[in-house]
Structure 1
Amino acid sequence: MRLGEILLQEGIVDVETLERALSIQQKSGAQIGDVLIALGKINPLQLAKALSLQFNLPYRNAVDYPANPETLKEVVLVVGEQFLRTNAILPLGRKGNALGVVTSRPNAKEPLEALAKAMNAELFLFVCSEREIQTALTNHFRDSYTEESTMGLFFRNPEESAMETFTTLQLVLLYSLVTLFLFGMLFRGRETLLVLFFLINVFYVFSLGFKLLASILGARTEILEQVSDEEAAALDPKTLPVYTILLPMYKEPEVVKHLIAGIMEMDYPLEKLDVKILLEEEDTVTYDAVRALRPPANFEIVRVPYSVPKTKPKACNYGLLFARGEYLTIYDAEDVPEKDQLRKVVAAFRKGPENMICVQAALNYFNSDQNLLTRMFTLEYSYWFDYMLPGIEALGMPIPLGGTSNHFRTEMLRLLGGWDPFNVTEDADLGIRASAHRMWVSTINSTTFEEANSHTGNWIRQRSRWIKGYMQTYLVHMRNPLRLFRTIGLMPFLGVQLLIGGTFMTFLINPILWLLFIFWIAFRPLWMESVFPLWILTLSTLNLIVGNAMGIYLNMLAVFRRRLFHLTFYSLMNPFYWILHSIAAYKALWQLFTKPFFWEKTVHGLAKK
């Protein structure tokens, strides 16, 4: 008897519901049980019991009747925990050649046959819901899962982890430079300042030149992974794979309804979405809000056990353990992705090279006109995603990912080691790490709309975390500069210097130079001309003027692709916006030494309705 007929016979669904589900199944090619789950018409327990009747197998609750620890250990040593999690299989016990196994997919022959072959055993099957199997596995491996999500990258490759902020060599170099500067100021003050300001000006020239070049290329180059709306719509739903969506949240009950509704409205078969709502164990308010909405069972709440550091990348690593999708993405609590984004990404991956690990969608804001700060934020992001990133990609430089709407090949992400839980800008780090492992990151012509920060204090908290993460990323990847250069090549290496290092260095240097040379222009004190020759004062002033003028011009350029012409005037406020960046940068520098792994939480839901 077919599964639908069993559910109908048991009175779990009615004829109208079954006909609707069969119509959807015919289009998407998904299992009828998954379709009914996604429609919210049955729950995982009802599906499991119906499958047990269909295959004439006994039902067994994997939580109430736990597995034999020795058998579980034996199986894990052979096939690994990930195999059990991905295929929702739980070994119960073994006697001789017979291995008792609970599965939520008794019709999935391939993984069951692989397990039987690997264990050289005859399988005796029981049926249980996938959720109960995952709960049972989590009960057994809770400490292991927590350790993997927190320390996995560090244990496998400590040089790629930000757990150690400064290496001994970096500290020696830092203290040596500070000592050299102090001795220089003490014995050769004028010459020391001349060398310092000359180097700063050279850095500024290269930084400005790089931004201008990347912007020109970005303006001339369409996003490399272009997928038309028609191409995305033409994808056969039957060929679309399971897609995992991670939704990390922390104490954000007010945005849950909006977020879940947005995911359910996406142009992708709902029955092929594997949605993981990642919540810290102590976050009862968001948990209660999700439960109250009663989303379909393919929207699964994953409780992240308490451990240090308590960061978004650690939560994402924990969610990655349970991801079933061929592809995986992250959306933040306030995100509104374009409806066909997942389809466009699938098309981009199919067209792209095999080593393409990630496709980054553009980010922009739905509350751009709320106040001056949101307008500046919108100009900044429009320039970054519409001009700068395509230009960086055209130059062959590594792309520092955005914190959301980055889409991965799931298995390649696992091979790369997932996210660094100790890096508070884990996205940028992942983009550089992918390049170091010769994996390709690309951009795509799809946008996710977010909530722009409308409160200055909240903006500085968020931006200081981002800048601190850039500092961490630079320190991690510059632990062995020569090896990095040999691994990734000249242009990507320059990209790390100018994009990652140059970003925070510019923000730290700006206020010092601005104050110094505004003071010189305004008052022309004799002591400055006695310390600095006229040529360096002129060069510094020129850098100041040209740099700010170019920043204003590039912000003006940002409005064209999205036709945000009403924001053009606000580009003139760019120098004042940069002052906020400098405030955030000094806060980030302080925290780098005092609390490097502290996650400055951004408050969402401040946009005017």
Structure 2
Amino acid sequence: MSLVESNRAGSPRDAPTCVEAPLSAAVEYGFLLGTHIDHATLSRACAVAREWGVYPHEVLIAEGRITEDSYVQALAETAGVPYRADVATRDIAIPRNASFRQCLSTGVIKEAGRARAFLLGTNRLGPFALRALLARHSSHRIALCGPRALRRAIRDRFSATLARGAVQTLAERRPHLSAHRPVLAWQVWTFALGCAAVLAAGLTAPLATVHVATIVLACVFVPVILLRLVAAFELACTGPAPSGAAAAPIAGAKLPIYTILAPLYREAHMLPLLLNALARLEWPAAKLDIKLILEAADIETVRAAHSLTLPPNVEIVVVPDIGPRTKPKALNYALPFARGEYLVVYDAEDRPEPGQLRRAYDAFRNGPANLATVQARLNLYNADTNWLTRQFTVEYSALFDGLLPVLDKMQLPIPLGGTSNHFRVAALKWLLAWDPYNVTEDADLGTRLARCGYRCAVIGSSTYEEAPARLGNWTRQRTRWLKGFVQTWLVHMRAPRTLWRELGPRGFLAFQIMIGGTILSALVHPWFYVLLAIELAGGGFLARPDLVFGLPFWAVSVFSLVGGYTAAMALGFCALRQRRLERLLWQVPLMPVYWLLISVAAYRALWQFARAPFMWEKTDHGTVMDAPKTP
């Protein structure tokens, strides 16, 4: 058995057995006593280790009692093997019959050049177990190094390979599900011919064309209206939700390692607030694996992160400037370094409720085997900044407290939010993770999950974000979202019959409502006002009730407009009450004005999709610098 294979057995799940072994901790960790820690510190670490289900040295490192490098150096000295403080990128090589991903998971790599020693960098074995491993492989030259130093060396050595994989894997292995080709030829021809047909019909029979178009649009909008009414009814029946409800108590020893991916770009000023928010999470520190994902081109944020004294469980991952500079590419690059069984994505401005990880894990533990994703609810901590943020709060409350829970209850595909998505790492990797070319990667991933038979659940825990308070910032963000919805709709509608077969009729309809309906309603909404203005001006463009189809046309038009407004406002009203945000109820009648802004962003998204489909317009955060007070 090779060293790589034998070290695979060193699993965190074995830790509680070691902690509770009859051997005295003072003997096993005696090499630390006196020079690094005292007996009282070790005793406390042992008690916490039993509670968390980890080794005492993991507690000592997580709580900052000893650094990882100091521990490994002391362990190497007592084991009688060399210690490598720095692992140079040029001095490492992959062991025979292994891959760099195996090296990451096992903590074993080989030195290049004359030394040719195996480098072992892992904290998943106790001191006695590590010595036993070294004894079994005494024929090999083995040196110890810090796990973080080993991961950094592997990352630097294979950065180009990792970056190419982050960009190309989905496009190469499942090209039909990748947005690297923004649109197929037949889709372009279908769109062009459809526009030509509508134009020709409008020129030859304008009234009939308007009638038919209105009825077709009504067929699209009626399911949207019904879904909103169902969501409003559900909220009205449940009433206000309890604030910060706790998950079922789970012993720390039974909790797995949880990875947090936090991508940042031009957000150096957000680092302290983000780290403070993550420090409030109720999860054993030794079982948290936090990755700050930074762009190599963002020198300011990289410098700011390195200048901070980061907690021991926080690691910096710098993404090479290769391929599209998008959030999903950055997440893909960092994914191989995730040590957790579960994973969550947070943005720089996010303030998750402290118990969110436990509630997500509780949902995974009690959910079906095909539950791959848990979506936390999103809301805003700067709702009262101005009119724009108030409307954003109404919109977010309706979506995350109303629509998405209904989709979950009906077991329909859920377009994920851009943050606070919790994943089973194994399922996420099987799906080939995020599409680096899709600028609304969350909605796309939610659809791919459903197509592959996985489910997504919505939990009651909330994450509070910062809403853009400036119109230009809001427009850039909304343009990107809607452009990503266009990408997602075009990708999954490349083979409509296949999509129908994989999602089923209900899932197919839900996809059209949540993705296609969002785009179409934003594009069509202003034209209702145009037609209304023409009619009020006496232009006679619309049919009179005494003409053929006149009355049905007016009935359909009024129902689409009034019914759409009524359903959306009812949902917004109920969602605000459920959130205990009654102070914002007066904003609900102003929603149509907000929708006109969304329409402007929708047309801007179409224009940008045609010119720069992969461009990621950055949303600036940090306009609200005071620490938010979450419920």
TM-score normalised by L of structure 2: 0.87
> Are the equivalent residues in 2 in contact too, given 1:218–1:390 (CA < 8 A)?
no
> Are the equivalent residues in 1 in contact too, given 2:89–2:157 (CA < 8 A)?
no
After superposition, the C-alpha distances for 1:510-559 in whole angstroms (9 at most, x for unaligned) are 00122212432x33323433799532144313422232233222211112
Residue 7 in structure 1 maps to residue 22 in structure 2: no
Q: CA deviation at 1:106?
A: 7.2
Partners of 1:200 and 1:66 lie apart in 2 by: 62
**Which residue of structure 2 lines up, in the alignment, with residue 92 of structure 1?**
111
Q: CA deviation at 1:27?
A: 2.0
Q: 1:17 to 1:455 in 2, by over 3 A?
A: farther
With 331-340 and 199-208 compared, the bigger mean Cα shift is at 199-208
With 39-48 and 347-356 compared, the bigger mean Cα shift is at 39-48
Residue from 557, 576, 584 that aligns with 1:559 = 576
After superposition, the C-alpha distances for 1:264-286 in whole angstroms (9 at most, x for unaligned) are 12111111110000000122222
Query: SS of the counterpart of 2:191?
Result: helix
With 182-191 and 380-389 compared, the bigger mean Cα shift is at 182-191
After superposition, the C-alpha distances for 1:233-256 in whole angstroms (9 at most, x for unaligned) are x21111111110011001112111
Counterpart of 1:49, as a letter, is Q
**Which residue of structure 2 lines up, in the alignment, with residue 403 of structure 1?**
418
**Which residue of structure 2 lines up, in the alignment, with residue 313 of structure 1?**
328
Q: How does 1:26-65 map to 2 (within 5 A)?
A: 26-60=50-84, 63-64=87-88
Q: 1:20 to 1:254 in 2, by over 3 A?
A: farther
> Are the equivalent residues in 2 in contact too, given 1:222–1:390 (CA < 8 A)?
no
**Which residue of structure 2 lines up, in the alignment, with residue 365 of structure 1?**
380
| CA RMSD after TM alignment | 2.9
After superposition, the C-alpha distances for 1:281-319 in whole angstroms (9 at most, x for unaligned) are 122222222233201232000000001210111111111
After superposition, the C-alpha distances for 1:108-163 in whole angstroms (9 at most, x for unaligned) are 49xx99xx9xxx99754321111221122123322210011111111110011111
**Which residue of structure 2 lines up, in the alignment, with residue 216 of structure 1?**
233
Q: 1:503 to 1:321 in 2, by over 3 A?
A: same
Residue from 46, 54, 75 that aligns with 2:97 = 75
> Are the equivalent residues in 1 in contact too, given 2:441–2:484 (CA < 8 A)?
yes
With 51-60 and 274-283 compared, the bigger mean Cα shift is at 51-60
Task: Indicate the percent of aligned positions where both proteins have the same amino acid.
Answer: 36
> Are the equivalent residues in 1 in contact too, given 2:214–2:556 (CA < 8 A)?
no
**Which residue of structure 2 lines up, in the alignment, with residue 524 of structure 1?**
538
Q: CA deviation at 1:599?
A: 0.7
> Are the equivalent residues in 1 in contact too, given 2:91–2:113 (CA < 8 A)?
no
Q: 1:438 to 1:227 in 2, by over 3 A?
A: farther
Q: How does 1:142-161 map to 2 (within 5 A)?
A: 142-161=159-178
**Which residue of structure 2 lines up, in the alignment, with residue 585 of structure 1?**
602
Structure 1: segments with no counterpart, 5+ residues: none
Query: SS of the counterpart of 1:22?
Result: helix
Q: 1:160 to 1:220 in 2, by over 3 A?
A: farther
Q: 1:34 to 1:108 in 2, by over 3 A?
A: closer
> Are the equivalent residues in 1 in contact too, given 2:263–2:330 (CA < 8 A)?
yes
Q: CA deviation at 1:100?
A: 4.5
Residue 480 in structure 1 maps to residue 505 in structure 2: no
Query: SS of the counterpart of 1:529?
Result: coil
Residue 345 in structure 1 maps to residue 360 in structure 2: yes
Q: 1:163 to 1:509 in 2, by over 3 A?
A: same
> Are the equivalent residues in 2 in contact too, given 1:214–1:395 (CA < 8 A)?
no
Partners of 2:619 and 2:31 lie apart in 1 by: 49
Counterpart of 1:128, as a letter, is C
Partners of 2:385 and 2:540 lie apart in 1 by: 47
Partners of 2:202 and 2:88 lie apart in 1 by: 72
After superposition, the C-alpha distances for 1:21-74 in whole angstroms (9 at most, x for unaligned) are 3343232122233222222333332222122134333223562385564xx273
Residue from 434, 437, 458 that aligns with 1:422 = 437
Query: SS of the counterpart of 1:75?
Result: coil
**Which residue of structure 2 lines up, in the alignment, with residue 166 of structure 1?**
183
Q: CA deviation at 1:94?
A: 11
Residue from 225, 247, 254 that aligns with 2:262 = 247
**Which residue of structure 2 lines up, in the alignment, with residue 200 of structure 1?**
217
Query: SS of the counterpart of 1:408?
Result: strand
> Are the equivalent residues in 2 in contact too, given 1:276–1:301 (CA < 8 A)?
yes
> Are the equivalent residues in 2 in contact too, given 1:27–1:237 (CA < 8 A)?
yes
Partners of 1:193 and 1:121 lie apart in 2 by: 83
With 240-249 and 127-136 compared, the bigger mean Cα shift is at 127-136
> Are the equivalent residues in 1 in contact too, given 2:221–2:517 (CA < 8 A)?
no
Q: CA deviation at 1:447?
A: 0.6
> Are the equivalent residues in 2 in contact too, given 1:150–1:308 (CA < 8 A)?
yes
**Which residue of structure 2 lines up, in the alignment, with residue 268 of structure 1?**
283
Counterpart of 2:73, as a letter, is K
Partners of 1:461 and 1:2 lie apart in 2 by: 61
> Are the equivalent residues in 2 in contact too, given 1:221–1:390 (CA < 8 A)?
no
**Which residue of structure 2 lines up, in the alignment, with residue 295 of structure 1?**
310
> Are the equivalent residues in 2 in contact too, given 1:37–1:296 (CA < 8 A)?
no
Q: 1:529 to 1:489 in 2, by over 3 A?
A: closer
Structure 2: segments with no counterpart, 5+ residues: 1-25, 627-631
> Are the equivalent residues in 1 in contact too, given 2:264–2:293 (CA < 8 A)?
yes
> Are the equivalent residues in 1 in contact too, given 2:264–2:348 (CA < 8 A)?
yes
Query: SS of the counterpart of 1:26?
Result: helix
TM-score normalised by L of structure 1: 0.90
Partners of 2:530 and 2:243 lie apart in 1 by: 47
**Which residue of structure 1 lines up, in the alignment, with residue 148 of structure 2?**
131
Q: CA deviation at 1:176?
A: 1.7
Query: SS of the counterpart of 2:374?
Result: strand
**Which residue of structure 2 lines up, in the alignment, with residue 513 of structure 1?**
528
